[in-house]
Structure 1
Amino acid sequence: MPKLVDREQRRREILEVTWRLMATRGADAATMREIAREAGYANGALAYYFANKDALVEAAYGYVFDRTNDRIREATAGLRGVAALRAFLVEVMPTSEVTRLEARIVLPFWSRTVADERFAQLNDEAMQRWRRELTELLQQAREDGDVTAGTPDHVLAEQLLAMAMGLQVLATTPGTPTPAATQVAMLDAFLAGLRAG
């Protein structure tokens, strides 16, 4: 049993190095050789943990998604409705150094979903989960009287998801990225609008 724990710990360490390299240098620059070097392994040693780069990229995306979900769970603990919606989305939007780096992992992953069915399935599962969770929080907000807009909850959830995903692009592209304060102001304006009849 200790060997399994050790192997999983090493996989996590490699994934931590991988997502940070991909986020700071780009997916193509993060070669298996570079990842192995940064993680302190001999070239070729990563094959014991990940069959190839696609497997490593897939695992890195899952790792980032799990980290985001862990933060969402912590941020929304004890909250419901609109307060929980806001806390949830702030953890998805690239408003901090960590969430900006995570967004830079998601962007190249999305491009892979076009040609890779496995990546497309992983992304779809992640988005479907968030759609369900956002819809549940919107339903709570209606119960609390904080959402009175006539737009159906599944449409509102899609709008919130589109805003968060769009900001991952706008806040991570070179030039004039959307500042964190503007992102939060956009979210607050949208949430305030949900009270409209």
Structure 2
Amino acid sequence: MAHKSRDQNIFRGVATVPKIVDHDERRLELVDATWRIIARQGLEGATMREIAMEAGFANGALKPYFPTKDTLLEFAFSHVFNRTNQRIAEVTEGKSGLAALRAFCLEVLPLDEERINEARIVIPFWQRAVNDAQKAGVHQRSMDEWLAAIRRCLQEARDSGDVTAAVDNHVLAGQLLNMLLGAQIEAALAPEGRTDFGHAAQLEGYLALLGKIPGGK
């Protein structure tokens, strides 16, 4: 990814989850295999044996990379978060305010099969995080970063006069993040093959409530 200046990339500081590096290639193969199985069979179907077979590994070959299914699921969540943030950084380069906020949200919303599959990884992770403080911490740090990015966009839009809503930016950011997460749940639980939930239109409706939208869509 091209280097971005501090002024251009409003999402600087996002993605404190450790970055994927070249020597993690085999781990990524396992994560991709996990994605495919969870998308087809759900979390319970994603046994270590099934994941190994899907990735073309011998059954015992997973342990040096992921000793347990939980460690694999945590890495998979981190991978989803990093991938989403990479897309966000690309689509928001050179944008600010509501334009950047819209681009951010469109990369999180489950608008196609790839992003729906990402939601199918995230939701089992949430389920495990309910009773696992470490996973809950990973999730909370991720959401705190997104909230900070959303608030920056809102403040930029307020400074430019494009947001005129009397509601505080912290409240608006929380509302929007909850909408994004709710959309992921809806898409992950929908019948296979369904991708049109009206989420893009709902986003536009939300942005319209904030005030003037520069240049329309």
Q: Which runs of 4+ in 1 moved over 6 A?
A: none
Task: Determine the structure 1 residue equivalent to 2:47.
Answer: 31
Deviations along 1:25-81, one digit per CA (max 9) or x if unpaired, are 211101100111111110110001111111001001101111111111111111111
Alpha carbons 1:103, 1:172 under 8 Å: kept: yes
Deviations along 1:106-151, one digit per CA (max 9) or x if unpaired, are 1111111111111101110110000000000101111111101010
Higher mean alpha-carbon deviation, 138-147 vs 12-21, is at 12-21
Cα displacement (A) at 1:97 = 1.1
Structure 1: state its 5+ residue gaps: none
Using the size of structure 1 for normalisation, the TM-score is: 0.91
Cα displacement (A) at 1:13 = 1.5
Q: Which of 168, 177, 189 does residue 205 from structure 2 map onto? A: 189
The answer to which structure has the higher helix fraction is 1
Structure 2: state its 5+ residue gaps: 1-20, 213-217
Using the size of structure 2 for normalisation, the TM-score is: 0.83
Alpha carbons 2:112, 2:195 under 8 Å: kept: no
Taking a change above 3 Å as real, the CA distance of residues 137 and 178 of structure 1, as seen in their structure-2 partners, is farther
Alpha carbons 2:33, 2:51 under 8 Å: kept: yes
Alpha carbons 2:165, 2:210 under 8 Å: kept: yes
C-alpha distance in 1 between matches for 2:49 and 2:141 = 30
Task: Determine the structure 1 residue equivalent to 2:162.
Answer: 146
Alpha carbons 1:71, 1:91 under 8 Å: kept: yes
Q: Which of 116, 128, 134 does residue 118 from structure 1 map onto? A: 134
C-alpha distance in 2 between matches for 1:149 and 1:112 = 37
Q: Using CA pairs under 8 Å that are at least 6 residues apart, name the structure with larger relative contact order, 1 or 2.
A: 2
C-alpha distance in 1 between matches for 2:157 and 2:211 = 10
C-alpha distance in 2 between matches for 1:47 and 1:21 = 18
Q: Write the letter of the residue equivalent to 2:128.
A: R
Alpha carbons 1:24, 1:101 under 8 Å: kept: no
Taking a change above 3 Å as real, the CA distance of residues 177 and 23 of structure 1, as seen in their structure-2 partners, is closer
Among the aligned pairs, what percent are the same residue?
Answer: 48
Q: Which of 41, 64, 86 does residue 70 from structure 1 map onto? A: 86
